[in-house]
Amino acid sequence: NAGVTQTPKFQVLKTGQSMTLQCAQDMNHNSMYWYRQDPGMGLRLIYYSASEGTTDKGEVPNGYNVSRLNKREFSLRLESAAPSQTSVYFCASSEGAGRGYNEQFFGPGTRLTVL
């Protein structure tokens, strides 16, 4: 049981390049989330998916798109990377609505640098 996995672990992009961050969970969770972590700012929600087939914007969605590919996978895409998107990105999952307490489980993160 791997929990939440993320690829890649590290990535360096040039301004204007695109890339997709991958996330998968094997806990049969319904809900999945993408956060970014910046020094002194904690975690900020980019997008989330309450259930397969749905996605919603979080606090900082600009410059990102997401795809809930199936129940297991939730990808985050940067179409035209900017230096302001240099950050550590975390994917998380939880059981979902109506299932009692909704603890989020986190992946190990992707460290992205945009030059």
Report, in Å, the least distance between residue 16 CB and other proteins.
28
Q: Is 99 in the site for other proteins (CB under 8 A)?
A: yes
- What's the length of the chain? 115
Can you read off the two tokens belonging to residue 34? Answer: 């993408």
Partners of 36 in beta bridges? 44, 89
Q: Is 21 in the site for other proteins (CB under 8 A)?
A: no
Give the one residue of 45, 61, 63, 65 binding other proteins; rule: CB under 8 A.
Answer: 45
Residues 97 and 30 sit within 8 Å (Cβ to Cβ)? yes
Residue 53 φ then ψ, to 5°? 95, -5
Q: Is 40 in the site for other proteins (CB under 8 A)?
A: yes
Task: Give the number of residues in contact with other proteins, rule: CB under 8 A.
Answer: 30
Give the separation between CA 4 and CA 89, rounded to whole angstroms.
Answer: 13
CB nearer to other proteins: give 6 or 85. 6
Q: Is 106 in the site for other proteins (CB under 8 A)?
A: yes
| Pairing of the two strands 110-114 and 10-13 | parallel
Identify whether 8 is preceded by a cis peptide bond (ω within 30 of 0): yes
Give the one residue of 34, 46, 48, 87 binding other proteins; rule: CB under 8 A.
Answer: 48
Residues that bind other proteins (CB under 8 A): 4, 30-31, 40-45, 48, 50-51, 58-59, 90, 92, 94, 96-104, 106-109
